[in-house]
Chains A and B, each alone.
Chain A
Amino acid sequence: KAGVTQTPRYLIKTRGQQVTLSCSPISGHRSVSWYQQTPGQGLQFLFEYFSETQRNKGNFPGRFSGRQFSNSRSEMNVSTLELGDSALYLCASSSLGGGQDTQYFGPGTRLTVL
């Protein structure tokens, strides 16, 4: 079974731009969760999608949004980028979702905002 894939792996943007990151889960997994990792804040939960519905959302501003398609692939979008958005963005997929099931992580997208 192929693992979780994320594209792109690296991205450089400037302040004010927007960015879209993609995550393809393991085949058969219906849950995709997104996380942000920074040196200062560590790993933080962004949101979780399950069967195309957002099931839970973390404490991030509305500039951070996401969606999930019928094939369970998920995208997250960050609009009006700020310097503080520079981070490693990880997605993870699982069968049942969230904290109740083993999560399989993708390699991450490293976003740099200049």
Chain B
Amino acid sequence: KNEVEQSPQNLTAQEGEFITINCSYSVGISALHWLQQHPGGGIVSLFMLSSGKKKHGRLIATINIQEKHSSLHITASHPRDSAVYICAVPETSGSRLTFGEGTQLTVNP
């Protein structure tokens, strides 16, 4: 079973700051997912990546397969970025996802 650890658990930032959220996993994977969950429960898939780096707007996700580590960066953070960010990795069977505990991000104006 893949163990997924995220850090930090909670993060408070001022608007405009650069944010980094980390995710480590124990077993080699084919892809890693970053998800965003707003209050109220809705989950949005931000990235699925298997190597290198992906960028979407102010969000950047990187993964190092050898180190079994991924980071999610938010540049020029904004209060609307306040949410829980969750990383998830598939089990070796490829079908089921194992989730990290999530990082609660609060961006103050």
Contacts and interface: CB of A to CB of B under 8 A. Distances in A.
Interface of A: 33, 35, 37, 42-45, 48, 55-56, 58, 88, 90, 92, 97-105, 107-108, 110
Nearest to B2: A99
Contact of B96 (A48, A102, A105): A48
Interface residues of B, number: 26
B90 A102 contact: no
Interface string B20-61: 000000000111010100000111110010000000000000
* Top-8 shortest CB links A-B: A99-B90, A56-B95, A98-B95, A105-B43, A43-B99, A45-B96, A108-B41, A56-B96
Chain A contact residues: over half helix, strand or loop, or mixed?
A: strand
A99 B89 contact: yes
A45 B95 CA distance: 10
